[in-house]
Structure 1
Amino acid sequence: MSTTERPRILVVGGGYVGLYAAKRIMKKMRYGEATVTVVDPRSYMTYQPFLPEVAAGSISPRHVVVPLRRVLPKAEVLTGRVTNIDQDRKVAVVTPLVGEAYELPFDYLVIALGAISRTFPIPGLAEQGIGMKGVEEGIGLRNHVLEQLDKAESTTDEDVRRKALTFVFVGGGFAGAETIGEVEDMARDAAKYYTSIKREDMRFILVDAADKILPEVGPKLGTWGKEHLESRGIEIYLNTSMDSCVDGHVVLKNGLEVDSNTLVWTAGVKPNPVLARYGLPLGPRGHVDAEPTLQVKGTDYIWTAGDNAQVPDLAARKAGVENAWCPPNAQHALRQAKVLGDNVISGMRGFPQTEYSHSNKGAVAGLGLHKGVAMIVMGGMKIKLKGRLAWYMHRGYHGMAMPTWNRKIRVFADWTLGMFLKREVVSLGALETPREEFYEAAKPAPAPAVAAPAEKAKAS
């Protein structure tokens, strides 16, 4: 970390908003005008809409992450967490990955922490659940599912086999529906290489407390998506929730009980709870309360955007929707980050702020290879697509939204190779414990047992 006489713009969080806001600030800033510091526990940004395709092996995990230091070469990137903020002194407490916490002064502040998985106190969830918020979880889910097929192929115990081949997904929004669609597709392909496993031996279950899935694309496409997944043998239970999952024994509110080694939790997100320690005004659900200019209410030197922010949706309000807020999606995050970056520069130079307003352009979702739904808004008209054409729209939109041309090209290259080469079905579960084999080889051999005197006498 460097010390500087220049004003410091502190960006808390290196996700979609943090990365793009910092890029925008660096682009608009005059040479030497300020120091931009980005603090995040990870040294990379993850493009979360591609995590289902990572879990299915359609995209290499390295290609959906963007290294912060490479994209922000002139910024100061610190790997750690901002655990506290003193607004009176304009000082943040940074806790690095190793070593003691220290204070970091700032002049302007950007809160871009994003969101974490929304969970409930369900017995067994912490021990059994697999989230889908990070690339590590996407890789882990892929390896885990393929390992279950390996277990089922190699065992003669029918109960062990049934538990290994049962996959439960909780949450029917974009993350849940896309993930179960992609993983089922991968498992169906992988089963071709196993002599004793067929798709009919597997059981995929999707559970949601709401009365529909994929609410983001509207009721008609959501219904089509549900029927499509069911046509592939996926069981969908709506208006229900999970009571417990201790030791993989899943109990649902509707009375269904199954044993499963795989429980994927995608039941929504919530703002990062550390926001409560920053002394910022929060909305009823824990989001930072923001003005239409993306300034935090009651301040003129703090901005926020993205999943951790409660930003008025001016476009929806002009259309007559009262108390509308911007939904937490990549569409808003990208555009908010650019306005936020411009407003930070304007605030630093004493110029007026710009209000954020963006009308919804629709939503796209992939449900596996060549399958998807899309709702596109053009000229006030809603165009609804399903099947292969919607899948192309999904890939096209998110492929172009992927940060940096380096990553765009790599993602499109993965897709192009996938058109000609078969899907990889290799499990690399040992990645989670890479030193285990070496440890077994290198650990000291146990000392030989010494016989007792009485046993020696008998032996003689």
Structure 2
Amino acid sequence: MSTTERPRILVVGGGYVGLYAARRILKKMRYGEATVTVVDPRSYMTYQPFLPETAAGSISPRHVVVPLRRVLPKAEVLTGRVTTIDQDRKVATIAPLVGEAYELPFDYLVIAMGAVSRTFPIPGLAEQGIGMKGIEEAIGLRNHVLEQLDKADSTTDEEIRRKALTFVFVGGGFAGAETIGEVEDMARDAAKYYTSVSREDMRFILVDAADKILPEVGPKLGQYGKEHLESRGVEIYLSTSMDSCVDGHVVLKNGLEVDSSTIVWTAGVKPNPVLSRFGLPLGPRGHVDAQPTLQVTGTDYIWAAGDNAQVPDVAARKAGVENAWCPPNAQHALRQAKVLGDNVVSGMRGFPQKDYAHSNKGAVAGLGLHKGVAMIVMGKLKITLKGRLAWYMHRGYHGLAMPTWNRKIRVFADWTLAMFLKREVVALGALETPREEFYEAAKPAPVAAAKRAEEKAEKKAEAKAS
């Protein structure tokens, strides 16, 4: 980390908003005008809309992440966490991955910490649940599902087999519906290579407390998505929730009880709880209260956007919708980041701020290979698509929205190769414990160790006797 007498713009979070805001600021700034510092626990940004496809093996995990230092060569990138912010002194406390925490002064602050999984105090959830917020979880889910097929194919215990082949997904929004669609697709393909496992042996269950799935694309497409998943053998239970899942024994509110080794939790998100320690004005759900300019209410040197911010939806309010807020999606995050970057530079130079206003252009969702739904908004006209065409829209939109041409090309290359090559169905669960096999080989054998201890004791006894 370098020290500088130039003003420092501290960007807390290296996700979608943090990455794009920092790029925008660096692009608009004059040479030497300020130092941009980005702090994040990870050294890369994850494009979350592609996590379901990564879990299904359609995209390589490396191609869904963008290395911050490579994309922001003119910025300071610190791998760590901002634990506290002293607004009076304009100092942030940084906790690095290793070593002691230290203070970092700043002049301008960008809050882009994103969101974390919204969970509830459900018995067994912390021990059994698998989230879908990061690339590590997507890789882990893929390996885990394929390992369950390996277990089921190798065991003679019917109870173990049934538990391994039961997959429970909680949450029917974008993340939940897309993930179960992709994973079911992958499991159906993988089953072709197992002698005693077929798709009919598997049980996929989707649970949601709401009365519909995919609310983002509207009721008609949501109903189509539900019927489509059900036609593929997915059991969907709406207006219900999970009471417990201790040791994989899932108990639903509607009375259904099943044993499952795979419980995927995608029941929404909430702002990062560490925001409560920053002394910022927060909304009723814990979001940073921001103005249409993306400035934090009551400040002139702090901005916030994305999933951790409560930003008024100016376009919707002009259309007559009261108390409308921008939804937490990639469409708004990308556009907010650009306006935020411009406003930070304008604020640094003493110029007026610009309001963020963007009308919804629609939504797209993939439900597996060649399956999807899409809603396109063109003024007052709404176009709905389903099936293969919607799936092309989903891939096209998110493929182009992927940051950097390097990653765009790699993602499209993955898709192109998949047209000619069969899907990979290899589980690499050992990646999570890569040293285990070496440890088993290198650790001293119990007999040899005991013998050495015995010889050592005899030598000590002889030495004392002499």
In 1, Cα distance between the equivalents of 2:309 and 2:33? 27
Which position in structure 2 is the counterpart of 1:230?
230
- Kindly state the Cα deviation for residue 449 of structure 1 after the two structures are TM-superposed: 9.2
SS of 1:180's equivalent? helix
Distance 1:3 1:446 in 2: 54
Q: SS state of the match for residue 446, structure 2?
A: coil
Deviation string for 1:246-290 (max 9, x for gaps)?
Answer: 000000000000000000000000000000000000000000000
Deviations 1:162-181 (A, max 9, x none): 00000000000000000000
SS in 1 for 2:450: coil
Query: How many residues align structurally?
Result: 460
Shift of 1:222: 0.2
Distance apart, 1:446 and its partner CA: 1.1
1:154 maps to which residue?
A: 154
CA distance in 1, matches of 2:172, 2:465: 70
Q: Deviations over 1:357-390 (max 9, x none)?
A: 0000000000000000000001320000000000
Query: Within 2, Cα distance between the matches of 1:222 and 1:4?
Result: 53
Deviation, structure 1 residue 447: 3.3
- After superposition, the C-alpha distances for 1:390-444 in whole angstroms (9 at most, x for unaligned) are 0000000000000000000000000000011000000000000000000001111
Question: What whole-Å deviation, never above 9, does each CA across 1:129-160 have from its counterpart, x for those lacking one?
Answer: 00000000000000000000000000000000
**What's the CA shift for 1:239?**
0.4
> 1:188-239, CA deviations, whole angstroms, 9 ceiling, x for partnerless residues?
0000000101100000000000000000000000000000000000000000
How far apart, in 2, do the equivalents of 1:452 and 1:78 lie? 48
CA 1:356–1:440 in structure 2 vs 1: closer, same or farther (change >3 Å)?
same
Q: In structure 2, do the counterparts of structure 1 residues 295 and 157 end up closer, same or farther at CA, with 3 Å as the change threshold?
A: same
SS of the aligned residue for 1:430 comes to helix
> 1: CA distance between counterparts of 2:48 and 2:452?
63
Aligned partners of 1:404 and 1:349: how far apart in 2?
29
Matched residues in 2 for 1:442 and 1:329: separation? 49
| Sequence identity percentage | 90
The C-alpha deviation readout for 1:287-325, integer Å capped at 9, x for no partner, is 000000000000000000000000000000001000000
Cα distance in structure 2, aligned partners of 1:432 and 1:128: 16
Q: Separation in 2 of the partners of 1:381 and 1:339?
A: 27
Q: Under a length normalisation based on structure 1, what TM-score does the superposition of the two structures give? A: 0.98
Normalised to the residue count of structure 2, the TM-score between the two structures is: 0.96
**Structure 1: distance between partners of 2:226 and 2:387:** 13
Q: Deviations over 1:35-72 (max 9, x none)?
A: 00000000000000000000000000000000000000
Structure 1: 4+ residue segments shifted above 3 A: 447-460
Supply the distance in 1 between the matched residues of 2:337 and 2:4 (Cα, whole angstroms). Answer: 25
Distance 1:406 1:454, change over 3 A: closer
- In structure 2, the CA distance between the partners of 1:449 and 1:310, relative to structure 1 (3 Å rule), is closer
Aligned partners of 1:455, 1:424: CA distance in 2, in Å? Answer: 53
Residues 421-436 of structure 1 aligned to structure 2 (within 5 Å): 421-436=421-436
Change (3 A) 1:459 1:228: farther
Q: Return closer, same or farther for 1:456/1:407 CA change in 2, 3 Å cut-off.
A: closer
1:53-109 superposed Cα distances (whole Å, 9 cap, x missing partner): 000000000000000000000100000000000000000000000000000000000
In structure 2, relative to structure 1, the CA distance for the partners of 1:56 and 1:453 (3 Å cut) is closer
Once the 2 structures are TM-superposed, how far is the Cα of residue 455 of structure 1 from its aligned partner?
A: 19
Q: 1: distance between equivalents of 2:221 and 2:98?
A: 48
Cα 1:387–1:449 change in 2 (3 A) is closer
Any idea what SS the aligned residue of 1:307 has? helix
Find the aligned partners of 2:132 and 2:454 in 1 and give their Cα distance: 61
Aligned counterparts of 1:450 and 1:310: Cα–Cα separation in 2? 64
> Which 5+ residue runs of structure 2 have no aligned equivalent?
458-463
Distance in 1 (alpha carbons) for counterparts of 2:410 and 2:96: 31
Listed as ranges, the gaps of 5+ residues in structure 1 are: none
**Aligned-CA RMSD value:** 3.0
**Alpha carbons of structure 1 residues 152 and 109: separation in structure 2 relative to 1, 3 Å:** same
**Secondary structure of the residue that 1:37 maps to in structure 2?**
strand
Counterpart Cα distance in 2 of 1:452 and 1:174: 60
Larger CA deviation: 450-459 vs 77-86: 450-459
| Other structure's SS at 1:447 match | helix
- What is the rounded CA distance, in whole Å, between the counterparts of 1:353 and 1:453 in structure 2? 75
Aligned twin of 1:31: 31
SS at 2:127's partner residue? helix
Return the alpha-carbon distance in structure 2 between the equivalents of residues 105 and 207 of structure 1: 47
Q: Distance in 2 between matches of 1:454 and 1:24?
A: 69
In structure 2, how many angstroms separate the alpha carbons of the residues matched to 1:185 and 1:88? 54
Equivalent position SS for 1:451: helix
Relative to structure 1, the CA distance from residue 320 to residue 440 in structure 2 (aligned partners, 3 Å threshold; closer, same or farther) is same
